[in-house]
Amino acid sequence: MIICFIFFGLFLQYYVVITTCPNCSSFDPIRTKINGTSLSQNLSCGQTYIFTVTAVTQLEASAPIQIYVTLRPVAIGPVANLTVKYFPGKLSDVVSDESFDRFLLTWDPPKNLPDRIEV
């Protein structure tokens, strides 16, 4: 006797993690499809993030669950060693990039930047 069981929609396919930053004007939500149960992201925009996780099977998705994370503000200093170099343009009859004055700005990153924050 052979018994065969068929389960529809019971096997987990993947997870969907949506990361949003409600107080960031230049941060588009990040939608990530993953097979595991962990995710590492570089987030450098704001202080508050919302993570939404949904489990997806072949036929349906679980109810999404959210977690709000507020990061402790870090005392970030100003950029260091700001310098400017001036490159005068060359006068010519033909307009090219070299006919315009140019400036090159360089600087070092601020101190006390967090490398990574685990949530």
Mean pLDDT of the chain: 78
> Does the pLDDT at position 32 exceed 90?
yes
Distance, CA of 43 to CA of 73 (rounded, Å): 14
pLDDT in tens, 49-63: 999 999 998 888 888
pTM for this entry = 0.54
CA angle 19, 61, 69 (to 5 degrees): 25
| Structure confidence at residue 17 as a pLDDT band (50, 70, 90) | very high
The CA-atom distances, in angstroms, between 22 and each of 34, 52, 68, 103, 116 are: 23, 13, 10, 36, 20
